[in-house]
Structure 1
Amino acid sequence: MNSPIKLSNTILLYLLTLCIITKAQNLNNPNYLHHFCDDTTTSTTTYKDNLNTLLSSLASNATSNSIGFFNASAGLEPDDVYGLFFCRGDLSTDVCQNCVANATKDIVQRRCPTQKVAFIWYDECFLRYSNKIMFSTMERDPNYTLWNPENVAVHADFNRELLNTIFTAVNRAANMPAGAKKFRATKANYTTEHYLYVLVQCTPDLSSGDCEQCLLAAYSGLEICCNEKRGGRILFPSCIVNFETYINYNETYVESAALAPSPVPQGDKGSSKKTWIIIGATLSTIVGVLLLSSFAYTMWRRKKREEIRNSQVIQLLDMEGRTIEDDCSNEIMYGEVKSQDSFLIQLDIVLKATNQYSNENKLGQGGFGPVYKGVMEDGKEIAVKRLSRTSGQGLREFMNEVNLIARLQHRNLVKLLGCCLEKNEKLLVYEYMPNKSLDVFLFDSAMRVQLDWQRRLSIINGIARGLLYLHEDSRLRIIHRDLKASNILLDYEMNPKISDFGMARIFGGNHSEANTNRIVGTYGYMAPEYAMEGLSSVKSDVFSFGVLMLEIISGKRNGGFHLSEEGKSLLNFTWKLWSEGKGLELMDSLLEKSSVATEVLKCIHIGLLCVQEDPVDRPTMSSVVVMLAGDNFKIPIPTKPAFSVGRIVAEETTSSNQRVSSVNKVTLSNVLPR
């Protein structure tokens, strides 16, 4: 019979072997999450050598680093490189070192072999490098979001407890002393039987304020994508926030990191009773003070939490720079809206300016929501877009507008004065355009007389310059994706201003085309490659501009044109007249006295170039502006225009003759060539 000692030794040996195997498996397999490579590439040997030196330094310092963080640099300008890593605060040095060692190889061998700037996230660590200094700087871009697709059963209790737990964790992590891990992992009951688990962490080189701002911005992003979900995680370069309904951290390590209580000193038996009386009295006092302090702190925290939740700045942090192609997509990008305090407008100011959203001030109604005219205290007129609370599409458009138009400035773009996000309101405040939009004049027989040829030509030139700015001259490169007459606003002097950037999309400096699964825009203005294949580019905007040019010249809509006496589409009708040498017959009869025939023909010619079927054949907006401005520029011969994307819409009218003229999502099977 085996002795108890031998049996115990056998069990211990088994457990030790199991721990070693488990540890080895964990060390060999860090859990990859996401990576990002910048567009900038390098072919210089010096930079690559410096990068290898840097990565070697990071890997070697992961073994001797007690806080799981290290930054370093290598080389001299212009081939200098900077990098850092930080490991999850609840993991051992061995796990950290193994993750960093894997990251230094994975990022250059598989993920970003030629890029100067790269980021890689694992469940256990994060590593990045760049040709620019990033130390002690809070950054939220690029980032990555993950969430559990399952919903929690008890929404109200879960959301309330999640908010409490995260805010407590953020406060404690952000206020860790200098040189310590800015990390907090904790759990809380959201029902009597169920726990939620929260993990937050910043890079230790951030200030307390920057750490708190980063974590709050991350949580704000999780509120949008992961509301009522069983888990969510957002990864920033400077911080991470993660919540789950299962243990998402090393609970043993976190608990062992806490300070152990001091042992009670052993006195002689004669004084033990007196000692316990003193201890009891002292504890009673301490408990009383703690209860009062806890109550005061709870009340303060509740007030602070409410302030933060209602804070316009925190809500705006979530929306800055985001291209909203899908709800909480992995393309979340945070921007640089300057001077947020001045950009944000208080709700009471808007309410007073619009007379509490009175019907007398209402200018119109769109898919986004109603639009109101307002007058500020200084007499400045404004237009206020109010997001409908039931509009999911409107929320995406709202975010896009805040992200894009706030950072664009051009005389032919409508100016966004600010926004308001108080008390569940989402408002966009623009400069007021007294003459409304171009379609109001262009497609109304009584109003159209105010648009003589010189005014129409001026409008065409203004739109072209505004579009050129979006495509080539702004610090962002923007595809508008919904250029049409109703999105061209007119100021007091009838100068055109491109508006409505809710569907716009940023494209990279080296990329002029993007693919999307979500087709947005307006029938009659959409380029065929976009409507049929989801390929949006600057050339799809050029197509829309060409359609708009022909509408301005003719005074007729492209959408529903085949129902008119001329039949077909406006594009094919124009091509027929042009091919027969009768281009001037396209011109609005109201322009006969004010027009210059050569200018009209040149504009028709350019319009036909813009609506050619192959995007490669269409001119860029810089070429369009040059052709419009000069008479000595040799204009290419156009080919037959693309089919009309708008025709099928009118064919599917209801029995009550209600036509659909604009949609936000297009069913591709409903778009047929002529």
Structure 2
Amino acid sequence: MAKPHHHRRLASVTTTTLLLLAVLHIVRTAAEDEQPPWPICGPEPSSGNYPQNSTYDTNINLLSASLPRNASSSAAFYATGNVGDVPNIVYGQALCRGDVANASACESCVATAFGGAQQACPLYKDVVIFYDLCQLRFSNRNFLLDDDYIVTTYWLQRSRLVGSPAFDGAVGMLVNATADHAVGDSSRRFGTGEVGFNDRRNPKIYALSQCAPDITPEVCRNCLNAIIGQLPKWFSRMTGGGIFGVWCNFRYEVYSFFSGRPLVELPQIVERPPASAPPVIPGGEKRRNSTGKVVAILMPTIAVMLVIAVVYLFCWRRRRPEEDAFLPSQSATSNDIQPIDSLLLDLATLRVATDDFDNSKMLGKGGFGIVYKGVLPDGEEIAVKRLCQTSRQGIGELKSELVLVAKLHHRNLVRLVGVCLEEQEKILVYEYMPKRSLDTILFDYEQNKELDWGKRFKIINGIARGLQYLHQDSQLKIVHRDLKASNILLDFDYNPKISDFGLAKLFGGDQSEDVTSRIAGTYGYMAPEYAMRGQYSIKSDVFSFGVLVLEVVTGRRNDASHNIEQDVDLVNLVWEHWNRGNVIELIDPSLCNHPPVDQILKCIHVGLLCVQRKPASRPTMSSVNIMFSSHTVRLPSLSRPPFFIQDISVSESWTAHSDAYPPGENSTVMSSNQVSITELSPR
């Protein structure tokens, strides 16, 4: 049975940097599990008790009247607060699990937790209690300070699993994947996951990770790393378990214990059967004969392996210079999430997967080449991006896209499967998105009826989360530079994934913007400072996102040439209607089933904020996510967005800015965005 006497101290080096976890006391628990609630009474020995009907008792009751309501009304279902004055002040923190059904369920759980805490730990000044859907702590000491991270953890351990260590590897991989998702989720710091496991009794493993929403990604990451690091020591071959702390927690089981679809789904892990041991033959002479036979078998095998190794090294040294220029050095990829070599795919496999690049398999075509649908031998569906021999996207751009996407892992970014560089081919292989790109559905009169408001808001939210990851939450700081509807791919459930990183730029250190003499991107989505002066920053992506939001709400392109009934670009059309107070007329007519007008108007307001003329007036993507998730945040006032010059074709696009960028090295290259996947001029 799990015992609640496990103490942790997280000492912050700075308020938002690394946390050090010191194990003060660990008690091994029995194998049987215990159902919640899981209380921890008085984690601090000096906390003491309080008299019944005292001022401290009254302050706890006052806190219990406000904290559940505050937590349930928060977008992240999280609240902190305090009541009273020293020495009878009570500090409190309440957090509901990210999959809690609604605000009512959250409020009910926290209210129950107050009663449960006082019942399980009567008259204790400092109590932590964990329920299935929420957790609560109150104390007479301010544990909310950054320099006062006292994290008391509750350990849950299930009965042992009779099986192979491969189970532990699957658990570790899944829990870390849910932790990655929680760190990247700026609104809730919450992640769930599922992985298939080739075991008759336990065919699937489920996991959950969560941090307090008000801590930074760095603090969340280090807190989760500290407790997940205990998996190999204390949870080996356990069918379930978890560590629950004030600031972060994880849990895994062999049954589905959370609501909704998992946010992270890993491919099934197949356990390899152990090699059979050679038979034991009694008798010395027989043993010598057996040894001789083994040597006779092994020596030729070893010789063949040595020959293969020599041939491989010879071929490696003679690899084409183009491949050497493409593949980063070991030092450059030492921190990659997956080694670049592991991404290499052979051309023969891709020819089979695409029926030798048959036209019937074509998904899209652009200036860079063609994208095909394929199926790998293991059944995985893929999108094969094959560059033309004459494509202006060269090795440098392909390398940029490969290295960036290989490093980035987020549910709203397209996943890179592999790369092929054989026979002068330049091919990138991605996961296949069955709903293809957003523009193929959104701007089609018939197909856009599939996109009810729920799906559209999910798409807007997903793009915003993916951009925040690129700009802020990932280890890299990346400006996409070509965010548009055709570069938003949709999976079967209409979850959006940002794709096409061929034009992306990596920012280092404190760099906030850069200037280029070669402007590459898509007309209608470009921020004015980028189109006119070559200046780009994360606010350039914010501008493109704002255009996307307005397109999703209205179902119209930001291009008058595609809309006969409008003589101005979409951004200014929306602005004019917003000023006149009749912007609701621009909502896509296909949204006829009583969509939530207030939420739609908020999206339009946020979209117009993102397309403000001055970059400083545009919000960051983290602010955008807060605006979407909060019901209390007051949105800033708006000013007129920039005007667009209409009816510019690709071939003559440079003439619009000929004074600043004449033809040649400083030419401006744009796209009319009439294809689903577009690659343009390299950087």
With structure 2 as the length reference, what TM-score do the two structures score? 0.49
Structure with higher strand content: 2
With structure 1 as the length reference, what TM-score do the two structures score? 0.49
Structure with max Cα Rg: 1
Structure with higher helix content: 1
